[in-house]
Structures are given as structure tokens and as C-alpha cells.
Structure 1
């Protein structure tokens, strides 16, 4: 029973990150804020979105994000503002342009290269040796004789 409660607590823990005083009164704006904040990386936690993180900086970013939405910014303008301020590192899903394109394409290219090398290596394997000739059998018998 304790394990089930613990597992449920872990599953629900991201819900506790956003504090009630941070939430907007307008449910449409709050939904937009939650959607945007799920794609923004917490600079402290690094592999959590600011929506899931309970770090102080994540809370401040959530507040800034909501302030920008209340001011009338579009979703993209809010994201652009955060990227301009913290760099592209703040995006959990980085853009697929420029230098990032190399990172996005390197894994599939390396996989294809490894598969090609493996295929060529297996194809080059030599055939099993053929049966011994009569001369080789005689020489082997000579060697094996006590």
C-alpha cells in the first residue's frame, strides 16, 4: 500500500510545481501558459520543464511567462523573449536549423554508417575452408602418425 501511495505521489509531483498564486484567473491564458511552460527548460534542473520544476528560478520564469501573456504577447513572442534572454538552451525541443541541424542529423547518419560497416564486414567474411586435397590428407596423416 505504501508503494502505491509513493508511486502516485511521484506521478502527481509535477502538479505541485506551479503554485496557486502563480496561476492566472483566465483559464484560456492559464492553459496557454501551461502549454508554453512545458516546452521551456528549467536552467537549474536542466532536464525538467519550468512547469514541472520547483526551483526558484523556474517559478520566476513561470511568472515572467504569465506576465508576457497578460500583456498580450503571442505564444511565439513569449518563447522568443525567453530565448533572447536565456539562449536557445532554454528550449526543451531546440530548433532544427543552423548548427542544431548537425546535432539532429548526426545520430541517424551514424546509425546508417554503422549498419553499412556491419553489412560490409559480414559480406567480406571468407567462405569456410574446403575439404583437404589428397596431398594435404597424406601430409596430415604423416604428421599424425605416432
Structure 2
């Protein structure tokens, strides 16, 4: 209670507490900085530190009310991180669109080549092959069966 409330001792036996949004914010900022703290000294890049701060805020947000979370987020400057993430997302979107266009072009090219191969290389059925081998000398054409008799 002492970490998030203002205290006042009225007497030796009585201490009163009053909720302090400012103390809550300072306490949460301390927690965020502890969560975001990197144990390895190799990483000094500010963008990564800002990303760790944002992740720590998001983790803490699961345990605090939305309005407190909003005030916690507004106490930090995440503009550089958000700009970087938007640029990275736009780049990924462009790369995905380019890959999709390449894949569609490749597939449409393959389909036209496959269709040409299929049309030129299709084998006739067994029945057609047997008819080609049949002796048709002296046989009447099929159209003669549909004419009037006597002609």
C-alpha cells in the first residue's frame, strides 16, 4: 500500500492511506524498467531498449486496469519504435506482394506451357486407336444411313 498510496499517520495506532495515481505510475515505471532490463551489456541500441520497454508495458497491462495502462504508455515515448515498426511492416508487405506477383507470373507461365504440352502430346484413346487400324474399304459412310432411301 505504501508504494501506491499517500500515507499519513494520525496517531501511533492509526495510519490512513489515499490512492495516488502518480505513485502508481512511478511504481509501474519501476516495474517496467526492471522487466525491460537487459542482463547482457552487448546490446546498447536505443530501439531495442524501447522495444523491451514496450513489451514490459504490454506484460504489465494484463494485471492493471485499461486507464492505468493508457497513462503508463503515455509516460513513455514510443514514436521511434512505432515509426520503425510501420516501416518494417510496409517493407514486409511490399516484399510479400512482389513475391506473390512473381509466383503468379510463374504459375500462369507454367499453365500456358502445360496447356500447350497437353494439347500437342495427348494420346488418343484405345477405341480411336483401334478404329484407325480397322479396314474401312468398301464400307458406307455413316451419313448415308441418314439419307432418304433411293438416292
For the aligned pair, the TM-score class normalised by the smaller chain equals 0.3 to 0.5
TM-score by length of 1: 0.34
